DNA sequence: CTTGACACGTGTACAGCGTACGCCTACTTT
DNA sequence: AAAGTAGGCGTACGCTGTACACGTGTCAAG
């Protein structure tokens, strides 16, 4: 796994093949399949490793600087591994380290007193920026070419829920809240709304900066008002 | 090209191979290479086609609703072709339709009276959201595995500049301004700054919403303050 | 001390991929 | 009529992921 990350750092993600990695390890290609089921799972593992490099949230900080610091840490991790962004974007399954990160990320807003509802929208808005770059989050839309996962037996689902509740309380809270909301849409969350929420938050910010005659804050040595 | 888009719509981008596309057209694979140099160029062309589907900016609207409408149009185009997002993210060369779109996008802010400087940062901040999703823009960082493009003879470069100036005046204006800025960094633009600018714009927006006791605007039938 | 399970590596094989190279045919332009 | 050109064809090469069967070594239970 570490070797895969190192190799990708050197040759990029496209050039990382099972054969090249096997060569690197002085081993025959098929040997790798004793450790991962397939190439996809290898990429999953690599992403896990990168997510693990992100610093934990600074304890005792206000929500804003906690979030800010965490995102910048994620960005640093991504910059160390330029292939990681693309790899994350193509990943479809959410692995434990990713869920951990999301859960604790949600936790930062909750600890700052954000309502579940606002937290939910805010998570969408910050989207992949939370990874040090940007992507749509919660993107469960079935893409063509990806087979729908096999349905699980109900008791297994229940057990899964238990596990989830214990390990990812914040994710669950948000998911539950958005599931039975008294909105017009009813079940699930409204992608269009989330997109416009993020867009408008940015546009409103731009408007404010423009109205107050913003000139390069860089020269003044700070970013925005924060 | 149209056939490629249609096929990708059906089977996804991963499953779109030169051979499948050739089959679709009732033709032998190598026949495709009379129309495109390679698969990359095919993808470039497909992205061009999608960008061409985005509506032109509404004439006579204020900058904010012009930008808003355009982004939502881009989003609609992307939703019609779920593979397009990923395709655009892997594209490295900026093709004419893409440059046209960027130029006219910059133009919307300029027409709204934004300074070149603010426009620049704002373009970074809105990033790929301008595409109906989100990505880092102006991302010219050389990735491993991509050969550096062959350098051009200087007179060709000059001619290129002429063309650029005529066709993409807004892009050029922004590029020029950021090239010789009196900042500490000097030449080029500061990725880190741009990232933090966008992040802080969002965080400031979140803070404002939180402070004014935001509750689901969806129930009230509007997004944010706009 | 033997036996079997298990983790891990090997070798061979196959189908699918992008595409280099050379050849052929039909149509347009002169 | 001649020549160029746009497009399609066939073959072939090296690369990919991975299925399947077959070793080995380590270790616990009989």
pLDDT of residue A165: 83
Please report whether residue B171 resides in a domain: yes
> Which tens digit of pLDDT belongs to each residue from B117-165?
899 889 888 876 777 665 443 344 334 444 444 455 666 678 777 877 8
How confident is the model at residue B146, as a pLDDT? 46
Contacts of B195 in chain A (CB under 8 A): 75, 132
> Which letter does DSSP use for residue A146 in this model?
S
| Domain contains B27 | no
Residue B181: which CATH number?
A: 1.10.357
Closest partner residue to A204 among B89, B185, B205, by Cβ?
B205
Query: Which residues lie near nucleic chain C, judged by CB under 7 A?
Result: A 27-31, 34-35; B 17-20, 29-30, 33, 38-40
CA/C1' separation A205–D11 (Å): 61
What is the model's pLDDT at position A155? 67
**Which residue of chain A comes nearest to B84, CA vs CA?**
A143
Domain containing B181 equals: 36-137+152-217
Residue B184 has a pLDDT of 42
* B7: in domain: no
CA distances from B165 to B26, B107, B169 (A): 43, 14, 5
A60 within some domain = yes
Confirm whether A120 is domain-assigned.
yes
Distance (Å, rounded) from C-alpha B178 to C-alpha B127? Answer: 17
The angle subtended at Cα B157 by Cα B193 and Cα B163, nearest 5°, is 85
Q: What is the CATH number for A50?
A: 1.10.357.10
At residue A28, the pLDDT reads 95
Full DSSP string of B37-104: SSHHHHHHHHHHHHHTTSPPPPTT--HHHHHHHHHHHHHHHHHH-TTHHHHHHH--S--HHHHHHHHH
CA distances from B115 to A171, B107, B119, B173 (A): 41, 11, 6, 11
Give the chain B residue nearest A130 (alpha carbons): B199
Extract the residue ranges of chain A whose pLDDT is less than 70: 128, 132-156, 180-188, 216-226
A166: alpha, beta or left? (left if phi > 0; alpha if psi -120 to 50) = alpha
User: A187 CA, C23 C1': separation in Å?
Assistant: 62
Asked if residue A201 belongs to a domain, the reply is no
pLDDT at A80: 94
Positions of chain D reached by protein Cβ under 7 A: 6-11, 15-21
Question: Given this model, what pLDDT does residue B217 score?
Answer: 58
Contact A105, A97 (CB under 8 A): no
For residues A210 and B122, what is the distance between their CA atoms, to the nearest angstrom? Answer: 10
Which nucleotides along chain C are within 7 A of a protein C-beta? 7-13, 16-22
Surface-to-core class of residue A74, CB atoms within 10 Å of its CB (0-12 exposed, 13-18 middle, 19+ buried): buried
Residue B226 lies in a domain: no
Closest CA of chain A from B48, distance in Å: 21
Q: How many domains does chain A have?
A: 1
Q: Is B147 within the bounds of a domain?
A: no
pLDDT under 50: residue ranges of chain B: 135-150, 183-185, 223-226
């Amino acid at each position: 796994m570490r070797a895969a990350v190192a190799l990708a750092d050197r040759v990029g993600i496209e050039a990382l093949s099972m054969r090249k990695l096997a060569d690197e390890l002085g081993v025959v290609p098929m040997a790798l399949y004793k450790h991962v089921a397939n190439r996809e799972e290898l990429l999953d593992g690599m992403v896990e490793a990168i997510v693990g490099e992100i610093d934990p949230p600074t304890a005792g900080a206000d929500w804003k600087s906690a979030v800010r610091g965490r995102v910048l840490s994620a960005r640093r991790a991504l910059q160390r591994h330029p292939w990681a962004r693309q790899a994350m974007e193509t990943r479809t399954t959410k692995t434990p380290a990713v869920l951990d990160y999301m859960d604790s990320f949600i936790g930062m807003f909750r600890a700052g007193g954000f309502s579940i509802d606002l937290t939910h929208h805010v998570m969408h808005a910050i989207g992949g920026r939370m990874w040090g770059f940007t992507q749509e989050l919660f993107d469960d839309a079935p893409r063509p070419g990806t087979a729908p996962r096999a349905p699980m037996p109900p008791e297994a689902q229940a057990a899964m829920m238990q596990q989830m509740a214990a390990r990812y309380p914040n994710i669950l809270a948000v998911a539950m809240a958005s599931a039975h909301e008294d909105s017009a849409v009813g079940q699930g969350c409204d992608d269009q709304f989330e997109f416009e929420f993020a867009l408008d938050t940015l546009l409103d910010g731009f408007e404010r900066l423009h109205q107050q005659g913003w000139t390069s804050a860089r020269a003044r040595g700070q970013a925005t008002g924060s």
